[in-house]
Amino acid sequence: MNTAAIAKVISGTAIVCALMCSCMKGSGLPGIVPLPGSVVAEKGEFVLSGESDIYIASGAEGMEYAADELKSVLSGICGVAALESDNPGASVVLGLSDELGVSSYLLDISPDRIKITGGDPAGVFYAVQTLKQLVPAQAYNGKAGRVSIPAVVINDSPKMMYRGVMLDAARHFFTKDEVKTFLDIMALHKMNVFHWHLTDDQGWRIEIDSYPELVGTGSVRKRTIVGKDPGGEYDETTVYDETPHSGYYTKDDIREIVEYARRRFITVIPEVEFPGHAVAALASYPWLGCTGEQYEVRQTWDIDDRVFCIGKESTFRFFEDVLAEVTDLFPSEYIHIGGDECPSKMWEKCPHCNRRMEQEHLDSYRQLQAYGTFRLEKFLESRGRRIIGWDEILEAGISPSAVVMSWRGTEGGIKAAKSGNYVVMSPTGYSYFDYYQTRNTENEPIAWGGYLPLEKVYSFDPYEGLDADDKKFVLGVQANLWTEYIPDFRQAEYMLLPRLAAMSEVAWSSASGNYPDFRVRLADFLELYRSFGYTFSETALRE
């Protein structure tokens, strides 16, 4: 995904909703999430059967991904098989049109056939995701032989070109297959950027050939604190599970996941933390720290003072080596370098860091961090990449090409946008899905804290506080799933769903904003969750 494509908001192609969900219900149509731009119910229905066939009218690169997605869905229902031969009279026809915008589609279902037209292959893929919702949910529970789909014309396009979801695999590791399921869930919601948090104090999860101890030592946490972290108040009463937690992704794993995402029109942006959240790396290579002391991979969750030493040239040689291997694995335009929650305590006592400040005429330790960030940015630019970082990177100034991910509210994003930097809005109050979904937490799994109900996610306005000129710098939005208190994938799904449905509508739908209508449409979407075996919170629906 390039910046020009992301920043080009498709004006004129997002049609104001012709029928809201009440009209969908009145016509017998299931509710669709995220809400399409235009939905017009027609008379009759199309009957899909094992005799139906699929024709790809365009050979554009990526069309086969949409066809494969459609085939995998429908073959499990009634045995539909894709055709490679010239058969424009097929039951299901996939094609492209220059008259449609980026990621846009027209889904035209008549009693005679299904015709899907996209502005590009991604648009065709998103049409398939909508078609999934028009198939009766119970049909996914076994081959039905024949399935009736209501006749309808849907014209749709995304509001935002960056629709992100972050998964933290550093605090708790998730298998390759679980990550693939996460990507499937994203695709169903028409989300298109997977932010993969791969390194932190509690674990290093990405194989780096030039530094094997990053996974040899850094991927293994010998134990984990039990219950809520007291935030630095550790003593003999602190309880640990005394169970090692480990795991990392080989380079082959990563290539497989990146390709799996690409076939779902999802860009994978890796995050390698700098200069804080560094303890797993320092445990692997102590010379990366200010003191050279030997540490253990962190077993608790609060912020750690032990960070990368910016005064040593060896730190930058390390990061250039690491980022060289990272950029070989991930083709994304952006590489996330973290930049958040970095204490300066170690730098203040470090002769190397203080010498660096004198040499570079730096007045503060935040400027020291900015110096390090600029060096990483320059290296990544030499490899054709750009940095994205949490909003702390603003504090000492950033280059015009850096992208800011605004998490401490939207203020950082507003400041960045007004200064001409591109922004992803991801504030805690709307986007942190590790927060509780209900006020009745007694029967809920332990969570980080806070309260983020479904309705508040849905109410998120990422443009609030920005004028028309500044809005063009908002690339999109992102939901974040931090996993300190999410030890397994079933719980990850529970915390993600159904709040991701609300965020998907914020990101995709120009015609959204009616929460009661969303709740009605969501009832049909939840049936799809059940059919696909996804775990979701029903408690959240009662708030």
Q: Using one digit for the tens of pLDDT, what is the confidence trace for 282-335?
A: 999 999 999 999 999 999 999 999 999 999 999 999 999 999 999 999 999 999
CB burial readout 236-263, b (16+ within 10 A) else e: eeeeeeeeebebbbeeebbeebbebbeb
Question: Which residues are bridge partners to 479 per DSSP?
Answer: 165
Sort 487 into a burial class: Cβ within 10 Å, 0-12 / 13-18 / 19+: middle
What pLDDT is attached to residue 15? Answer: 31
Residue 265 has pLDDT above 80, yes or no: yes
| Mean pLDDT score, 73-86 | 71
Residue 100 has pLDDT above 90, yes or no: yes
Cα atoms in the Cβ-side hemisphere of radius 13 Å centred on 475: 26
Is 464:410 a contact under the CB 8 Å cutoff? yes
| Mean pLDDT score, 401-422 | 96
Question: In this structure, what token pair is assigned to residue 263?
Answer: 């076939």
What pLDDT is attached to residue 34? Answer: 97
Annotated active-site positions, please?
200, 277, 341
CA distances from 371 to 360, 384, 395 (A): 9, 20, 12
What pLDDT is attached to residue 28? Answer: 67
CA distances from 230 to 32, 153, 416 (A): 43, 55, 34
Q: Cα separation of 204 and 283, whole Å?
A: 10
Residue 348 has pLDDT above 60, yes or no: yes
Residue 389 has pLDDT above 80, yes or no: yes
The predicted model scores a pTM of 0.94
What pLDDT is attached to residue 85? Answer: 56
| Mean pLDDT score, 326-354 | 98
| Mean pLDDT score, 104-113 | 97
What pLDDT is attached to residue 160? Answer: 98
**Helix (H), strand (E), coil (C) string for 148-191:** EEEEEEEEECCCCCEEEEEEECCCCCCCHHHHHHHHHHHHHCCC
Is 94:88 a contact under the CB 8 Å cutoff? no
Residue 490 has pLDDT above 70, yes or no: yes
Q: Using CA atoms in the order 269, 493, 436, 173, what is the torsion angle rounded to 10 degrees?
A: -60
| Mean pLDDT score, 374-388 | 97
Residue 496 has pLDDT above 60, yes or no: yes
Q: Among 60-64, 264-268, 306-310, 436-440, whose mean pLDDT is lowest?
A: 60-64
- Compute the residue count for the chain: 543
Note the pLDDT tens digit of each residue in 41-55: 999 999 988 788 888
Q: Percentage of the chain surpassing pLDDT 90?
A: 82
The DSSP letter of residue 243 is -
Q: Which residue has tokens 């504030």? A: 427
Mean pLDDT over each residue of the chain, to the nearest integer? 92
Note the pLDDT tens digit of each residue in 515-538: 999 999 999 999 999 999 999 999
Q: Which residue has tokens 């209508």? A: 517
Q: Cα separation of 325 and 379, whole Å?
A: 13
Q: Cα separation of 450 and 434, whole Å?
A: 9
Cα angle, residue 257 at apex, residues 255 and 258 outer, rounded to 5°:
65
Q: Cα separation of 208 and 508, whole Å?
A: 36
Is 152:29 a contact under the CB 8 Å cutoff? yes
Note the pLDDT tens digit of each residue in 463-477: 999 999 999 999 999
**Of 183-187, 392-396, 507-511, highest mean pLDDT:** 183-187
Confidence of residue 2 (pLDDT cuts 50, 70, 90): low
Q: Is the dihedral of CA 326, 330, 334, 339 positive or negative?
A: negative
| Mean pLDDT score, 415-442 | 96
The sheet carrying 81-83 orders its strands as 38-49, 146-156, 105-109, 114-118, 92-96, 53-56, 81-83
Confidence of residue 22 (pLDDT cuts 50, 70, 90): very low
What pLDDT is attached to residue 5? Answer: 45
DSSP 208-229: -TT-THHHHTTTEES--B-SS-
| Mean pLDDT score, 254-260 | 98
What pLDDT is attached to residue 543? Answer: 83
What pLDDT is attached to residue 21? Answer: 41
Which candidate, 533, 532, 541, 408, places its Cα nearest to that of 129? 532
Sort 112 into a burial class: Cβ within 10 Å, 0-12 / 13-18 / 19+: exposed
Note the pLDDT tens digit of each residue in 172-206: 999 999 999 999 999 999 999 999 999 999 999 99
Query: What are residue 26's phi and psi, to 5 degrees?
Result: -65, -30
What pLDDT is attached to residue 23? Answer: 45
Q: Identity (one letter) of the amino acid at 408? A: R
Is 36:130 a contact under the CB 8 Å cutoff? yes
Residue 360 has pLDDT above 80, yes or no: yes
What pLDDT is attached to residue 14? Answer: 33
Q: Cα separation of 298 and 282, whole Å?
A: 10
Note the pLDDT tens digit of each residue in 129-162: 999 999 988 888 876 678 999 999 999 999 999 9
Cα atoms in the Cβ-side hemisphere of radius 13 Å centred on 82: 15
